[in-house]
Each structure stands twice: as C-alpha cells, then as structure tokens.
C-alpha cells in the first residue's frame, strides 16, 4: 500500500494506479491487482447476495461476480452509459468484477503526492481508502481493494 | 487449534512434501552426486512441517518429520553419504507423512497405526555401524560376509523353501511356523539381506505370536503376504556403486538380468500387462467363493502356469519360482489330494499378491534401469508409487514397509483395481497396450470444457447471425463447424467418465475380508460394472460402498447355522449392481440377510433420544434412521462395524454428490440399498424456466409435472399462504419471483404456469412465468466468496452467453415463507 507518511518529500514512485470515475469522484486501484477491463456485459442477479453485488457475468466461460462501486459507496444508481465498464481484479477469492462509471487513466504517484486519508468528511467509508493521491491539481481516492471487497463476500440476509 | 489452521497446514504441507518428493526422486536417480542446494530445500520443507506440526500439536507428524530432517541434516553436513537406500528411506518417510497429513482432512484414509517402521529405518540410517561408514571413506566395497557366516546361503532360497513349507503347514501348526520364521530370521543375521526386510520380519514375528488367538486364518494370510514382501524386497537389487552408509553389510542381491533392459520396452512390458490380467483373473475367480468347480480350479491353475512359462522365457527366476510354488499347490487341488475350499482360495490370493509384488518389482527395475547409467539399478520406488497428490487416495501397498491389516487392505489395494491411476504411474519405459493413458490435472479438463462451451456459444452467434447468407457455402461451413464442435463437447465431457468396475472390484476384497473376520459365508456377485460415471463420483463412492458392504455382512447376513435354521442357504447372497437410469446412475446393494424391522429401528432411536417419539414415521423414514450419527443396531460393537460411525458417512457422502440413498427391507428376507447419483457433477438436465426477465434452471429429476391452474385451484390459507389442490393433495405454492426477489414477474397464478416439485415427501409447487424447454447445461458452482440464496446451487452459461441460475429444490421451499 502507498505510504501514508506526508512528511517525506522524496520523488520515489510509491505506486501505479488505474483510476476510474464514479459519480464526480475519481478513484484508483493498484494496477497489479487489475486483470483486465471489459465493456459492460449482461449481468445476472444472484438472489441472497449483498445489495452492492450486481450479480454474475460470463467472462469467457468463467462465471465471476460483479460488484457496483457506486452501490458499495452508497451512491444512487444511474442510467447505464456506454462508457460504463467492468474492471476485473484479482483478490483472495479469485477474480471479481468492479462496475464503474468510466475508466480515467493509469497514474503514478510519488510518496510526496500521497497522504493519509482524512478520518472524516468524505462521502465514502474511509476504511476502504488507502491514501489520497494529489497530482496535477486533482484529488484521487486510492482504494484498498481487499477492504472494498471484504464486506461483499460476507454473508448477507436473503433479499426476499 | 481450529479447522481452518489445520486445513491451511494440510495444504501447505502437501506442497512441501510434493516438492520434497520430487527432489528426493531426482536425488535417488543419481545418489552419488552431491547437490547441497536440493538437500537444503528438502531439509527446509521437512523443517517447516515439523514446526507447524509442533504448533498444531500433531505429535506423529512432528516426530516423523523430525527424524527425516535429522537425516537430511546429516546429508547436508556430509556426516552421511547419499545413496539410493537413504533416498528411498526418505521417500517412504515423505509418503507416510503425506498419508498422515491427508488423513487430517479425510479420516477415511488408512494409515498404519504407528510410524515405528519408518522411524526405525531412519534411525538405522543414522546409526549405521561405523564399519560401514569407514568402508565408504576408503571407497572399498564391504567384504561379503558369506565366507565368515555359516548361515549365508542364498536368502531367496531360504525364503522360497520357507514359504512353501508355510503354505503346506497351514495356520494350525504353530510350532512348525515358529521354526520356519526363526530360520528366516537366522538367515537374516547372515547379512546378505536387504535392510528393508527387517521391519517386515519384526511384524512377522509379532504375527506368529498372535497366531494362536482368534482370526488365525487372517493372520496366517498376512504372514504369507509378508513372506512374499520379504522375497520381493530381497529381490530388489541393492545399490552397488553407491556409498553404503546404512547397515547394509553386503549387497548380494541377484544381479538384474541384462535382458530386462532390452526387453523393457517390448516383451517385458507385454509380460507385465499380461501378468496383471492373469492375476486379476485368478483373484476374481476365487474371491467370494468357498467352493470351486473343476473349471475354476483349472482356470486359476492356468493363470499361474502361464505366468511361470512367461517368467522362464523372460529369465525372471524369482517370478518363475514363486509361480511354480503356487502352481504346485493348485495342482494338489486339481488332483483331488487337497480340497477346493477356502484354504485353496487363501492360497491363491497369497499367490496373486506375491506375484503382483514380484511383477511390480520387475517393472521398477525395468523402469529404473532404462534411463539411468548402467550399474545403478536401485529401484526408484517413488516412480512406481503413486505420486498423486490426490487427497483421500490411499497409496498402493508397495509404499509401506508393512502391509496394512486385513481390514485395511481394501483401500490400500491400489495397484489392482485402478486402471487409470495405475497406468498413469507407470514409467514411460514400460510400454504396453494397457498403459495408453495419461494423467491430466482436473483443472485442465475443466478449462477445456469451459473453452469448448465458449466456442459453442461463439459458433452459435455466427450461425444464427442474420448477416449470414442462408444456403450459402459459408452457412454450410458454419453448420459443419457446429456439428464438429458438438462432438468435441461430448468428447470433452466423456473425459471425466470412468466405469464403476474399479470401485466395485475393490468391494470383492472387502467382502472377502469382512466375511472371514466374522465367520460368515457370502456369495458376492457384481453386475453392471461397466456403467460409467464421473470420475470424482466413482472415487467418492468408494467409502460409502465399503461401509455399506461391511454393514450388510455384519448386520444383514446371518451366521451360516442361523441361515440354515431358517431354511436359507448357508452362504448369504450379496449383490452389488449398477445401471444407468436416464441421466442417473443407480447403484444397488442387495442382501438376502435378516432384514430390518422398521418399528424396532424407531424404538431404538427413541430410546437413544435421537428422534421425537411423537413424530409419525413411515417405514422408509424409519430405515433412514440408520444413517443418523450415533445410531447402531448392533447389540455389541464388533471389530467391523457397529460403532455408530460409518453409515452416517454413507448418506453424507452420497448427498454431497447430489445423490440419494433409499432403503428397502423385509424382515427375514433381506435389505436393498439403492443409491441414485447423477452421472456427472458437470452436466445437469434441467428445465429452463422464465421468471420476470430471469432464466432459471430446475433439475429435471425434481419436476413431477407442469400445469396451468384452473380457476379456484389456488387457494389462500390465513390470507397469506397459498396452496393448490392437485390430484387429491394440498401442496404449498411458492411464487418463485417473490422467493428470489425477482421483480416484473407474473403474480396472478391464473396467468402463470405451475411446476410440481418432488422434494422427497415434502413436495411443493412453484409458480413461474413460462417454460422455455429442456436443456442440458454445464454446472458452474458459485465462487467460494459469493454468498447466495440457498435455493440456488450454481450457475450455468446459456446459449446466448448469459449466465442463468440453477435452482436447488431442496432448499427453495425452506427459505420461502409462502407469501406472495
């Protein structure tokens, strides 16, 4: 994970992130966790799964779950858009898809460009945030993907 | 200590052991080459296992890995020189560790009671007489002790004479047997013996002491087995060029005939596979019978006779001699000077086992001789041994220095009845018709099926694309492509199928051993062994069948005199058969024993507090009580069954395989167990249902019928639950859309379609929007991390590439409160 120490001013790159937009915010996940980016596919809902889990998709013959980053962070659902994509990431359980509004770029952050997340005041649950990336005058929320997906895999009450 | 920790340890240890095994096998091929890197790696593996085992309080694993580690340490610091014997011992230690670790996960795996044999071997490596070490240092081969010891006759001569005498003496002549064993032991002191024979000898001596007790027949047979093992161990040549750290005084094994190497590819390979067939035939003939027709005796005789002839031709004196010895025994039966009874059967079985060992040893020699440098002819036991990391697969007997006890034989009888496994282990040098198999990781098969499935979908998209000009050459080509693809799919699915024969044949041995132990007579017959079933299911059924067979003989079939008193034949009949019924495979075990009294079972369960006395139960429900953990009808716990474990395993494992067990029994007439399994775990025959915009698949086997409700047929109870009157039954109605949280579905039953679901007595009806027809689908289980409604068991990919859910009828109703 990116260092959260704000004091050091070294120019060392602490991480390369794939950034994406959800709502008006831009998020990043470590690039080495990303397997691929695919266009939106038909998603089959799975009864009894947590609300943020949109369902499962057919990824070349493999059935993998897809989680909505929007719903995960409590944002309202919006109409589908052609820019919507699924970012397939690898976590402990295997491959899992993250549905996001659109992909932005691949960005590198030096240690000086990252700082610890504020403990309050963000529209998102900060336990999932590894660091805040500041470069080119923009703020990017760098996610700890294991924590983002951690709750999704916990059993939830059936949605009956 | 949690299960999670244990299973993590099991997975990690399995990896370490696999690595260690690989390294040791490589080292064993070139024992004189010093490879500190490899030894270090091996040392680290065992060291890690030791540490974890200590932490998890697994003393057996800890002490065994500790002993192995010490040897590796000695190798590391050159206190001990590498030799084939050292690596072989380490390999057998590793494989024992593998067994112990596998057992942690799967208690059904049989492991010898103690590791004394392994520990002893390791100890003897370390504490080898200093003379031997000196011999290594001066690089001079140890002097053959033949000159100095009076008893140094050829060990094989001693053994074959002794074994022949043993067979003739039978189990009754205790004094004679003791004398014979003593003679072998005496000869061992002479030194020209393979050190590995010693633990076997120790066990033989123990057996002799126990011979006077009950089950002497069994013990005697084991004694014969051990004798055969001694012979094969002795026959395996000792490392001659390798330095000798172990208490190997003089390697004096028979030199490997040169012809073996030359013949390895061709004639010898044929001999090995033919010998296998002959021995299997002989074993099948005698198993389960206690009296024999002249034709059967002749058949067995011919098998041994042919073996003898072939062995003589191929210059395999050991096999020739052994075959001859047993042939002579059978000749006596043929001549009528000895009865064709169970003693005859035991003799034949001992002969089969002995010859199998010898053939296996020959195979190993051929295998190790072919690729290695000339002269080093030590057997790479590991190559012939199953290097499978398969959990729950017990290893062939060749693995353990001491064969398991009679009751354990069943599972350990690996080499005989597992054609696929066996051939996969066969080294490539041994080429024969029966060995044309290759071992493929299941994951690769799954991936192949995935890709073929995807290809089919992609092809369908082309074929049904409106832009494809109809009746064009292109359309024809695409159509042909589709047909080839479907063949490919059938083929890829068939890769997982194996006949039940292997699983069934193992039961013959279980029957034989169990009946012997209990003093009962059983006429065991098989049927439908060629019925094919998913490989994983065939393997998974081994344990349940074994428990059922044992249970059937123990509790079902009566003692011979009791049977005669009831007017039945003295020998009980036990039949194991299989057949295909639609897409299911049915396995039936039928006995004509005492049968079960449903009311007695119920009373017993009530007495034990296992069920509520107020609960009304039909006979089937009463019979099912025997599957409850802790339920046992045996008045006394016997050696074989009756501890209340076992039968609960049967139902659990069958249900895990998506199967069902049914019991039918009539007091005094017998009992029939019927196991019904899907043919494969990968394919499901299902009805595609439409609910809202979702496609759902219901297993065809659960569907009784489908109907459009007539007006008034659906009624409300208490203004909430809905029921339907159908064929004089009142069945609860489940709105599938509501139960699964699917919106935009039809809510009025009058406009919907109702499907009657068979749920083993608690049948119900589901309401769906439409029926889209029957499909054969490839099951894709949910990822471990995906939580889902219990009423869904998995997913599948439909022809249009979309994912659809597969329903689990057993849990659909429990999770629905019947509300609309």
Here the tokens at position B197 are 């024979």
* Any B CB within 8 A of A57 CB: yes
Count Cβ atoms within 10 A of the Cβ of residue B56 and give its class: 0-12 exposed, 13-18 middle, 19 or more buried.
Answer: middle
Residue B736, pLDDT > 50, answer yes
Question: What does the alpha-carbon distance between residue B768 and residue B524 come to, in Å, rounded to a whole number?
Answer: 49
Residue B572, pLDDT > 60, answer yes
Average pLDDT of A48-71? Answer: 89
- Taking the CA of residue A9 and the nearest CA in chain B, the distance in Å comes to 40
Question: What does the alpha-carbon distance between residue B340 and residue A36 come to, in Å, rounded to a whole number?
Answer: 72
* Any B CB within 8 A of A11 CB: no
Q: How far is CA A122 from CA A76, B27, B687, in A?
A: 16, 61, 49
Q: Report the residue from B740, B741, B803 with minimal CB separation from A56.
A: B803
CB–CB contact B738 A160 (8 Å): yes
Here the tokens at position B9 are 């340890």
Of the pLDDT bands very low, low, confident and very high (cuts 50, 70, 90), residue B755 is: very high
Q: How far is CA B295 from CA A60, B370, B512, B646, in A?
A: 60, 41, 21, 39
CB–CB contact B788 A46 (8 Å): yes
- Residue B627: closest CA among B660, B652, B592, B604: B652
Sequence spans of domains, chain A: 13-150
Element (H, E) at B17: helix B3-29
- Taking the CA of residue A93 and the nearest CA in chain B, the distance in Å comes to 6
CATH fold for domain B3-127: 1.20.120
Residues of B with CB under 8 A from a CB of A: 450-451, 453-454, 694, 738-742, 780, 782-792, 795, 797, 801-805, 815-817
CATH fold for domain A13-150: OB fold (Dihydrolipoamide Acetyltransferase, E2P) (2.40.50)
Chain B residues inside the 8 Å CB shell of A58? 797, 801-803
Of the pLDDT bands very low, low, confident and very high (cuts 50, 70, 90), residue B226 is: confident
Would you say B502 and B422 are in contact if contact means Cβ atoms under 8 Å apart?
no
Q: Which is the CATH superfamily of the domain at B683-812?
A: SH3 Domains (2.30.30.40)
Chosen for mutation from A41, A42, A44 (greatest number of chain B CBs closer than 10 Å) is A44
Residue B721, pLDDT > 60, answer yes
CB–CB contact B797 A44 (8 Å): no
How many residues would you count in chain A? 160
pLDDT at B25: 79
pLDDT at B679: 76
Q: Report the residue from B453, B784, B787 with minimal CB separation from A48.
A: B787
* Any B CB within 8 A of A51 CB: no
Q: B660-682, pLDDT tens digit by residue?
A: 888 999 988 999 999 998 877 67
- Taking the CA of residue B789 and the nearest CA in chain A, the distance in Å comes to 4
* Any B CB within 8 A of A65 CB: yes
Architecture of the B498-678 domain: 2-Layer Sandwich (3.30)
Return the C-alpha torsion angle B318, B322, B325, B330, nearest 10: -150
Would you say B755 and B765 are in contact if contact means Cβ atoms under 8 Å apart?
yes
pLDDT at B590: 94
What single DSSP character describes residue B668? T
Average pLDDT of B467-472? Answer: 86
CB–CB contact B801 A58 (8 Å): yes
B807's CB contacts (< 8 A; 6+ apart) are B696, B697, B698, B699, B791, B792, B793
Would you say B72 and B50 are in contact if contact means Cβ atoms under 8 Å apart?
no
Of the pLDDT bands very low, low, confident and very high (cuts 50, 70, 90), residue B238 is: very low
Percentage, residues of chain B above pLDDT 90 = 7
pLDDT at B771: 92
Q: Residue with structure tokens 């409300």?
A: B716
pLDDT at B237: 52
Average pLDDT of B33-38? Answer: 78
Q: B528-540, pLDDT tens digit by residue?
A: 988 888 888 888 8
B632's CB contacts (< 8 A; 6+ apart) are B641, B642, B643, B644
Question: What does the alpha-carbon distance between residue B105 and residue B17 come to, in Å, rounded to a whole number?
Answer: 16
pTM of the entire predicted model: 0.46
Q: Residue with structure tokens 């805040």?
A: A132
Of the pLDDT bands very low, low, confident and very high (cuts 50, 70, 90), residue B235 is: low
Of the pLDDT bands very low, low, confident and very high (cuts 50, 70, 90), residue B145 is: very low
CATH fold for domain B258-399: 1.20.120
Q: Report the residue from A53, A56, A159 with minimal CB separation from B741.
A: A159
pLDDT at B436: 64
pLDDT at B153: 59
Question: What does the alpha-carbon distance between residue B64 and residue B49 come to, in Å, rounded to a whole number?
Answer: 10
Whole-complex ipTM? 0.77
CB–CB contact A160 B694 (8 Å): no
Burial profile B382-395: b = 16 or more Cβ within 10 angstroms, e = fewer = bbbbbbeeebbbbb
Chosen for mutation from B11, B691, B783 (greatest number of chain A CBs closer than 10 Å) is B783
Average pLDDT of B614-627? Answer: 81
Count Cβ atoms within 10 A of the Cβ of residue B546 and give its class: 0-12 exposed, 13-18 middle, 19 or more buried.
Answer: buried
Average pLDDT of A65-73? Answer: 91
CB–CB contact A56 B795 (8 Å): yes
A&B contacts, CB < 8 Å = 97
Main-chain dihedrals φ then ψ at residue B478, nearest 5 degrees: -65, -40
Q: B57-76, pLDDT tens digit by residue?
A: 788 888 888 888 888 888 87
Residue in A closest to B451 by C-alpha: A61
Residue in B closest to A157 by C-alpha: B789
Residue B431, pLDDT > 50, answer no
CB–CB contact B739 A45 (8 Å): no
Residue in A closest to B817 by C-alpha: A160
Average pLDDT of B311-324? Answer: 79
* Any B CB within 8 A of A160 CB: yes
Question: What does the alpha-carbon distance between residue B307 and residue B13 come to, in Å, rounded to a whole number?
Answer: 42
Q: Residue with structure tokens 């369902």?
A: A55
Q: Residue with structure tokens 């230690």?
A: B93
* Any B CB within 8 A of A90 CB: no
Q: How far is CA B292 from CA A30, B300, B328, B339, in A?
A: 75, 10, 17, 9
CA angle (B680 as vertex; B676, B683 as ends), nearest 5: 120
pLDDT at A84: 92
Of the pLDDT bands very low, low, confident and very high (cuts 50, 70, 90), residue B403 is: very low
Here the tokens at position B624 are 């099912």
Residue B400, pLDDT > 70, answer no
Q: Report the residue from A61, A93, A159 with minimal CB separation from B783.
A: A93
What single DSSP character describes residue B555? I
CB–CB contact A61 B453 (8 Å): yes
End-to-end alpha carbon distance in chain B: 46
- Taking the CA of residue A156 and the nearest CA in chain B, the distance in Å comes to 7
pLDDT at A10: 44
Strands A138-143 and A25-30: parallel
Residue B317, pLDDT > 80, answer no
pLDDT at B783: 75
pLDDT at A13: 59
Residue B429, pLDDT > 60, answer no
Q: B767-807, pLDDT tens digit by residue?
A: 999 999 888 787 887 876 677 787 888 898 887 788 999 99
């Amino acid at each position: 994970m990116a260092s959260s120490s704000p004091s050091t001013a070294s120019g060392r790159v602490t991480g390369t992130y794939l950034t994406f937009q959800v709502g008006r915010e831009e998020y990043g996940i470590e690039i080495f966790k990303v397997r691929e980016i695919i266009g939106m596919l038909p998603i089959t809902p799975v009864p009894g799964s947590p609300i943020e889990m949109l369902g499962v998709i057919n990824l070349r013959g493999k059935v993998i779950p897809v989680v909505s980053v929007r719903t995960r962070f409590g944002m309202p659902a919006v109409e589908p858009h052609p820019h919507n994509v699924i970012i397939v990431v690898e976590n402990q359980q295997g491959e899992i898809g993250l549905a996001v509004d659109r992909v932005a770029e691949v960005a590198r952050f030096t240690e000086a460009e990252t700082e610890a997340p504020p403990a309050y005041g963000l529209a998102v649950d900060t336990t999932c945030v590894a660091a805040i990336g500041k470069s080119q005058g923009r703020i990017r929320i760098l996610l700890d993907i294991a924590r983002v997906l951690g709750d999704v895999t916990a059993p939830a009450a059936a949605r009956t | 200590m949690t299960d999670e920790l244990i299973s993590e340890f099991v997975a990690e240890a399995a990896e370490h052991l696999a690595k260690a095994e690989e390294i040791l096998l490589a080292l064993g091929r070139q024992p004189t080459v010093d490879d500190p890197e490899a030894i270090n790696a091996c040392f680290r593996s065992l060291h890690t296992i030791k540490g974890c085992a200590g932490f998890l309080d697994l003393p057996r694993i800890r002490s065994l890995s500790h002993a192995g580690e010490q040897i590796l340490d000695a190798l590391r610091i050159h206190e001990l020189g590498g030799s084939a014997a050292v690596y072989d011992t380490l390999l057998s230690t590793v494989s024992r560790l593998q067994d112990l670790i596998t057992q942690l996960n799967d208690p059904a795996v049989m492991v010898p009671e103690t590791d004394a044999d392994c520990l002893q071997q390791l100890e003897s490596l370390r504490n080898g007489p200093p003379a031997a070490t000196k011999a290594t240092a001066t690089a001079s081969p140890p002097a053959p002790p033949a000159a100095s010891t009076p008893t140094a006759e050829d060990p094989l001569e001693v053994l074959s004479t002794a074994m022949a005498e043993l067979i003739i003496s039978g189990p009754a002549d205790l004094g004679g047997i003791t004398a014979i064993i003593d003679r072998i032991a005496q000869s061992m002191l002479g030194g020209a013996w393979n050190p590995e024979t010693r633990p076997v000898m120790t066990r033989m001596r123990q057996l002799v002491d126990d011979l006077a007790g009950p089950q002497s027949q069994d013990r005697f047979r084991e004694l014969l087995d051990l004798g055969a093992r001694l012979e094969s161990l002795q026959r395996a040549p000792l490392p001659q060029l390798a330095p000798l750290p172990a208490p190997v005084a003089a390697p004096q094994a028979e030199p490997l005939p040169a012809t073996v190497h030359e013949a390895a590819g061709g004639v010898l390979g044929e001999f090995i596979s033919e010998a296998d067939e002959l021995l299997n035939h002989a074993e099948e003939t005698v198993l389960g019978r206690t009296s024999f027709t002249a034709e059967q005796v002749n058949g067995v005789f011919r098998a041994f006779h042919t073996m003898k002839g072939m062995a003589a031709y191929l210059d395999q004196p050991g096999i020739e001699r052994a075959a001859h010895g047993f042939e002579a025994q059978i000749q006596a039966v043929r001549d009528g000077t000895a009865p064709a009874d169970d003693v005859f059967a035991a003799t034949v079985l001992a002969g089969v086992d002995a010859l199998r060992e010898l053939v296996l040893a020959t195979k190993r020699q051929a295998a190790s001789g072919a690729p290695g440098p000339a002269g080093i002819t030590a057997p790479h036991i590991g190559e012939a041994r199953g290097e499978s990391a398969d959990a729950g697969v017990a290893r062939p007997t060749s693995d353990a220095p001491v064969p398991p006890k009679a009751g354990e034989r069943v599972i350990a009888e690996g080499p005989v009845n597992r054609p696929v496994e066996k051939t996969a282990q066969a080294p490539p040098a041994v080429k024969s018709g029966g060995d044309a198999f290759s071992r493929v990781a299941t994951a690769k098969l799954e991936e192949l099926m995935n890709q073929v499935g995807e290809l089919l979908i992609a092809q369908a998209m082309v074929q049904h694309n409106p832009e494809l000009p109809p009746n064009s050459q292109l359309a024809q080509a695409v159509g042909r492509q589709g047909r080839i693809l479907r063949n490919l799919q059938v083929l890829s699915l068939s890769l997982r199928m194996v006949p039940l024969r292997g699983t069934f044949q193992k039961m013959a041995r279980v029957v034989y051993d169990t009946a012997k132990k209990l003093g009962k007579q059983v006429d065991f017959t098989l049927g439908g062994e060629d019925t094919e079933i998913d490989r994983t299911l065939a393997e998974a059924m081994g344990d349940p069948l074994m428990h059922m067979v044992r249970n059937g003989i123990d509790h079902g079939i009566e003692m011979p005199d009791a049977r005669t008193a009831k007017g039945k034949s003295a020998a009980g009949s036990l039949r194991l058969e299989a057949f295909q019924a639609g897409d299911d495979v049915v396995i039936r075990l039928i006995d004509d024993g005492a049968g079960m009294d449903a009311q007695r079972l119920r009373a017993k369960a009530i007495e034990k507090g296992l069920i509520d006395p107020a609960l009304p139960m039909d006979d089937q429900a009463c019979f099912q009580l025997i599957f409850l953990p802790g339920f046992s009808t045996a008045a006394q716990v016997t050696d074989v069954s009756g501890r209340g474990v076992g039968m609960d395993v049967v139902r659990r494992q069958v249900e895990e395989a998506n199967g069902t067990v049914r019991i039918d029994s009539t007091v005094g007439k017998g009992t029939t167990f019927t196991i019904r399994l899907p043919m494969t775990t990968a394919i499901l025959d299902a009805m595609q249902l439409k609910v809202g915009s979702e496609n759902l698949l219901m297993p065809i086997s659960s569907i009784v019928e489908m109907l459009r409700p007539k007006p008034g047929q659906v009624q409300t109870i208490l203004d909430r639950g809905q029921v339907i009157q159908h064929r004089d039954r009142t069945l609860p109605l489940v709105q599938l859309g509501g139960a699964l949280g699917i919106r935009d579905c039809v809510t009025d039953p009058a406009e919907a379609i109702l499907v009657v679901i068979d749920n083993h007595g608690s049948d119900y009806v589901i309401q769906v929007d439409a029926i889209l027809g029957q499909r054969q689908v490839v099951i894709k289980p949910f990822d471990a991390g995906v939580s889902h409604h219990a009423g869904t068991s998995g997913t599948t990919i439909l022809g249009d590439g979309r994912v659809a859910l597969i329903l689990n009828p057993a849990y659909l109703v429990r999770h629905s409160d019947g509300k609309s």
